[in-house]
Amino acid sequence: MNTEKNRNSLSHLDAKGQAHMVDVGSKEVTERSATARALVEMKPETLLKVIDGGLPKGDVLATVRIAGIQAAKKTSDLVPLCHPLMLTKITLDIEAINETQIEIRCTCKLSGKTGVEMEALTGVSVAALTLYDMCKAVDKGILIKETCLLTKTGGKSGDWVNEQEGNV
């Protein structure tokens, strides 16, 4: 296997294997969007403290939503090689999909030169951490699972759908 070529194909490394923030100056400005997802798995009785009969209880979900939205804006501060971006839209949806799992989805949009996949993934990740934090006094074993990108649109590489995820 041609190791040198493999290494170079990781776009954030240069030919010497050194990290850099890649030049997107010559990329086209296109409309870009991305949606990511995280599943937070907890005991049924924990879930009922957060959402009961479809109704959110207290400030829990709003806190999770705000944390995720603010984190999406901080992506380039958290993920070292991400470009600073001016997102034009962030939404964060939270839903109990069964009696032990809460799904968090984040969609980001941008009219710009680089994709917003990392922003959507950062949004769901920090939202999931915040949900853990709100519930940890009663359930330390909560699991954040299946954090992944669901779809992206725009850019040179075009649209992409995560085909392994049945519930997209």
> Rounded to whole angstroms, what are the CA distances from 69 to 12, 120, 125?
26, 9, 11
- With binding defined as CB under 8 A, does residue 63 bind its own copies? yes
Question: Is 133 one of the catalytic residues?
Answer: yes
Which of 125, 40, 115, 112 lies closest to 78 in space, CA to CA?
A: 125
Q: Which of residues 23-42 bind its own copies (CB under 8 A)?
A: 23-25, 31
Q: Is 134 annotated as a binding residue?
A: no
Q: Binders of its own copies among 98-127, rule CB under 8 A? A: 109-111, 113, 117-118, 121-122, 125-126
**Residue 136 beta carbon to its own copies: minimum distance, rounded to whole angstroms:** 6
Count the residues of the shown chain that bind its own copies, applying the rule CB under 8 A: 94
Residue type, 168: V
Catalytic hit among 59, 77, 133, 159: 133
Phi, psi torsion values for 132, nearest 5 degrees = -55, -50
Q: Mark residue 66 as left, alpha or beta (left: phi above 0; alpha: psi -120 to 50; beta: remaining).
A: alpha
Annotated binding site: 81-83, 118-119
Annotated binding site for substrate: 81-83, 118-119
Active centre residues (catalytic)? 133
